[in-house]
Structure 1
């Protein structure tokens, strides 16, 4: 078994590279789904074995080594014949290949793929050089042409929890006596924000008890897109009913406030937001992008519609606006489903099993 001694990493200087068994690089400064996965997983994994990230854009509670410590990876770790380099992006696979094959670091390479498309030739070349490959869903695994293990992402059930009193939480946010419909994430066409706005413009005038809230970063290249949506909302006279909140410091309270969460992405890697909403007790209407269809039980925890189909999205949402009690019932079932099927600990267990197989001499 792996060394499960816990290292209480607080800052990069706390990492003892000699004992480090796993490196999970993060070579992207901007927050992304991959970065969110690392932020959630590594503190939990660090309770089981010595692990650290390498890169920027991570909070201090995530174990992280310094770039100056990379040379320490050229030596064997204590108690193991090699370390594991767990990449989640092409550039991180390249870094691992350089360390293993050029600098002869005692290292095995693991890659997690969330892509929902056929990989480009260079990516395929990189993947073939991995020692183990993980797919985040059966759908993403279908695009891989190498042996792989399907490990779906989990959700932090200690962080994402239902509100003790949703009505009070909604009132605290300034939406007293309203039910909220949420759509969270980056505001852009890929995420289907325009499909959500169109559905809300069509539906909300008929349902005065519901209000829509949209959160998420608007990058410079999507500013015109977001401004256009806000202009449509203003023209419809719904600026008080469809609120753009921008990037919020903590998304968890907003999940607690929504009775219905909508994930209308046109395309996605995995997509964590429906799981976060379910763990917070909300029913979910989602497209079949990413792994959404593998998360939701139609007719029990929510609904799944074809990606990019605005009419189908509207119809699925309307079912819940017509029957708020159904939204509450499906939200309770979604909570139970998330807790039973998608705990973060389950993802950590499955990833550790892949590491163990490598350490024990298996290759897949």
Structure 2
């Protein structure tokens, strides 16, 4: 006997994640979609195994793509990568399905020729910062990335004294000498664009003056950057700081959260950055931040929540780092202000609401 189940209706919005590896874009989709679904019917076309329900399949798009949406006159195809725009264009232009194509742009540079061509076929563009919007030749709505302030949050009983207590990172080995120190933390890929080498150079200069501090780096180092990584390790070893400047590797989400909660200062030294979520996540955990002028950071970080240094300048980074490490109590107060700012102005719920509002305008 044939199945009597009715086919699942195609959602009004399809969000795409057409990448096998878990990236920053993947993390954004994974965090936003559950919140957005509280108000709208949203499906996910996913190659990356994000584990969210309501998956959309290509067969469903080809069978039901011409059907009438439940609200408005068109469905929304939300892309965050070039290939995802191209797929939306095929559905809309070639197959004549009723889609509005929305693209989120975070790049801190003008789009290349191929992306520029694709953007001319989009119905709307979200820029994650004013800087990203300025590089586009197309009108864009600026919607900042938000932070999950419920997940990224301080522990109960969080205080300055607890930050020098040992932390369990579930199998990640932390040198015993480092466990009893305040931590400076850096998060994200280990590569030149992230300014990892700038921070290592600065720490080698500054940490001997501050015996109560050590530093941890988390993040993946790809094979192409391994020589870069090995040079930094040799410099750290030559300075006698191998137990105070430690690379913890590519950690999972819970391990990264534990590191955010353990540090006293988060440093983001990127030479270039699309948006730059890690300092905001650290702020949501109640931690002070020191940032370059890349990404969204000049719009978010001021003297109340942290400090900044001249992008690409090790000398500038050393000067500011030295000033901040001299006053742990100041860093603690900055972190408390940072937490408040994230909750009030940069929550994930706020981002989800703004994107859903844009969906509604496109559909109608």
2:201 equivalent in structure 1? 198
> What pairs up with 1:143-292 in 2 under 5 angstroms?
143-164=135-156, 165=158, 167-168=161-162, 170-173=164-167, 175-249=178-252, 250=254, 251-292=256-297
Residue among 24, 27, 30 paired with 1:33: 24
2:335 equivalent in structure 1? 331
Instruction: State the 1:19 CA deviation.
Output: 4.4
How many pairs align? 344
Residue among 113, 126, 137 paired with 2:118: 126
Q: TM (normalized to structure 1)? A: 0.90
Q: In the superposition, relative to structure 1, how do residues 142 and 248 fare at CA in structure 2: closer, same or farther (>3 Å)?
A: same
Query: Equivalent residue of 2:227, what SS?
Result: helix
Query: What are the superposed Cα offsets for residues 38-65 of structure 1, whole Å, 9 maximum, x if unpaired?
Result: 1110111122211122122243136432
Q: Distance between the aligned counterparts of 1:73 and 1:267, measured in 2?
A: 39
2:171 equivalent in structure 1? none
Instruction: State the 1:355 CA deviation.
Output: 1.1
1:350 equivalent in structure 2? 354
Query: Equivalent residue of 2:9, what SS?
Result: coil
Q: In the superposition, relative to structure 1, how do residues 63 and 211 fare at CA in structure 2: closer, same or farther (>3 Å)?
A: farther
Q: Distance between the aligned counterparts of 1:29 and 1:168, measured in 2?
A: 39
Query: Equivalent residue of 1:226, what SS?
Result: helix
Q: Distance between the aligned counterparts of 1:100 and 1:61, measured in 2?
A: 25
Q: TM (normalized to structure 2)? A: 0.90
Q: Distance between the aligned counterparts of 1:324 and 1:283, measured in 2?
A: 10
Instruction: State the 1:68 CA deviation.
Output: 3.3
Q: Distance between the aligned counterparts of 1:327 and 1:104, measured in 2?
A: 56
1:96 aligns with 2:100: no
1:307 aligns with 2:307: no
Unaligned runs of at least 5 residues, structure 1: 1-15
**Contact 2:166 2:180 (C-alpha < 8 Å) held by counterparts:** no
Query: Equivalent residue of 1:65, what SS?
Result: coil
**Contact 1:136 1:152 (C-alpha < 8 Å) held by counterparts:** yes
Q: Distance between the aligned counterparts of 1:135 and 1:285, measured in 2?
A: 24
Structure with more relative contact order (C-alpha pairs < 8 Å, separation 6 or more) = 2
Range that drifts further, 287-296 or 167-176: 167-176
> What pairs up with 1:13-28 in 2 under 5 angstroms?
18-28=9-19
**Contact 1:160 1:280 (C-alpha < 8 Å) held by counterparts:** yes
Q: Distance between the aligned counterparts of 1:319 and 1:219, measured in 2?
A: 33
Query: What are the superposed Cα offsets for residues 323-360 of structure 1, whole Å, 9 maximum, x if unpaired?
Result: 11110111111111111110111111111111111123
Instruction: State the 1:191 CA deviation.
Output: 0.7
Query: What are the superposed Cα offsets for residues 68-101 of structure 1, whole Å, 9 maximum, x if unpaired?
Result: 3332334333344221001111111111111100
Q: CA RMSD in A?
A: 1.6
Instruction: State the 1:182 CA deviation.
Output: 0.2
Q: Distance between the aligned counterparts of 1:272 and 1:70, measured in 2?
A: 33
**Contact 1:112 1:136 (C-alpha < 8 Å) held by counterparts:** yes
